[in-house]
Amino acid sequence: MNTFLTVNAWLAALILSSTMAARPTEESRVFVSQDHGLTWNRGDHGFPDDDGINVLILHNKRVFAGTNGHGIWAMDQNGWYIQSSGLPKESRVISLLSNNQVLFAGLDRGGLYYSADEGSSWHPVGQRPDDNVRALSGRAGEVYAGTDDGIYRVNVRDGTWQRLLGGVQINAFACNDRYIYASTHQGVVRSTDGLAWEPVYRRSAINKVVLIKSEILLMDYSGNVYRADQEHPFFIKEDLFLPHHYFKLTPASPKIMGGEWSELSFVKSGARKGLPASAPLSILLQTPFGLLAVRSPRGGGC
């Protein structure tokens, strides 16, 4: 079956399941759009009714989701299915990484796991740290884990964890060929080699960090956005809403960062047909099946 027919058959199944499901659209976990965000349908066929998604990534044309209490689930053109063999029971997965054809999953107080077989089986990476693996990044062949108490470089071959920076909670990573950035509860730090880290922003806790061409953008936990040139990181608060690099999917959603989404049709026109206004959607991901928007987990933050 060609891609066009496969995608449309999958969408038809989603629409059919939406009409048959007991859970109303307002309670859906995932929404999918095939027209750049103009119209949306339910995209949670097969996903557990009582769970939410903390993190979403694309790996080899499949979507992998870290859930609030059901480990890892994957999605292809047929819908969602579980991919948690080897993970602790009822794992809360809060970070995911696809790096050199290997998948990594960071758990809430459960350490780090990897899969070398497309998510079919998972294995622990060394002795886990005592705190959460909140963020993951891969750069220049290295894997970095951000925890409640700093940054570690992880060696999958021998299972060792090398502490690179301590005393700070790591919330997110972003990297390019020159720098690796980490947002923390005290601001943002960066490094050129992963060993020496320097602060570039110290005013408040930062939730998200995004690199767009020569700029760095930061978002704090109140939704304020700051931008600066990477080579001269003097940050200015971004007070304009659109058409810049952050927006809300619905009135109930937190702001979302990501320059790659600033040219979407619904950003320009405001059309979001099929998205309930009360749904707080916190993740946006482009996939081979369409654009996915994900509801914030119950009881979770942004």
Mean pLDDT of the chain: 85
101: left (phi over 0), alpha (psi -120 to 50) or beta: left
Average pLDDT, integer, range 218-237 = 92
pLDDT cut 70: percent of the chain above it: 83
Gyration radius (Cα) of the chain, Å: 19
Instruction: Report if residue 188 sits inside a domain.
Output: yes
pLDDT of residue 36: 85
Query: Is the residue at 127 inside a domain?
Result: no
Answer yes or no: is 82 within a domain: no
- Strongest mean pLDDT among 50-54, 120-124, 267-271: 120-124
Q: What percent of the chain has pLDDT over 90?
A: 60
Mean pLDDT along residues 158-175: 94
CA angle 214, 219, 221 (to 5 degrees): 165
pLDDT at 49: 84
Q: Which domain holds residue 234?
A: 168-239
Lowest mean pLDDT among 91-100, 239-248, 271-280: 239-248
Report pLDDT for 19: 34
Alpha helices in 48-178 (DSSP H): none
Predicted confidence band at 239 (pLDDT cuts at 50, 70, 90)? low
Is residue 52 a contact partner of residue 298, using CB atoms and an 8 Å limit?
yes
pLDDT at 255: 86
**Does residue 226 fall inside a structural domain?**
yes
Residue 17 confidence class, pLDDT cut points 50, 70, 90: very low
- Say whether 89 sits in a helix, a strand or coil: coil
Residue 248 — pLDDT band, cuts 50, 70, 90?
confident
Report yes or no on 71 lying in a domain: no
Report the C-alpha gap between 210 and 68 in whole angstroms: 24
> What is the average per-residue pLDDT within 182-191?
97
Q: Give the confidence band of 258 by pLDDT, cuts at 50, 70, 90.
A: low
pLDDT of residue 126: 87
Reduced to 3 states, what is the DSSP secondary structure of residue 7?
helix
pLDDT tens digits for range 119-147: 999 999 987 666 789 999 999 889 999 99
CB 44 within 8 A of CB 80: yes
What pLDDT is stored for residue 260 in this prediction? 54
DSSP state of 39: B
Distance in angstroms (rounded) separating the CA atoms of residues 131 and 148: 6
Question: Is residue 272 assigned to a domain?
Answer: no
Residues, the chain, total?
A: 302
Q: What is the tally of structural domains in the chain?
A: 1
At 246 the pLDDT is: 74
Using the predicted structure, report yes or no on whether residue 220 has a pLDDT greater than 50: yes
When pLDDT is averaged across residues 221-241 and rounded to a whole number, the result is: 86
Question: Domain for residue 200, yes or no?
Answer: yes
Residue 281 region, left (φ>0) first, then alpha (ψ -120 to 50), else beta? beta
- What CATH number does the domain containing 222 carry? 2.40.10.480
On whether residue 55 sits in a domain, the answer given is no
The answer to pTM > 0.85 is yes
- Dump pLDDT digits (tens) for 81-124: 999 999 999 999 999 999 999 999 999 989 999 999 999 999 99
pLDDT of residue 59 exceeding 90, the answer is yes
What's the pLDDT score for residue 14?
A: 44
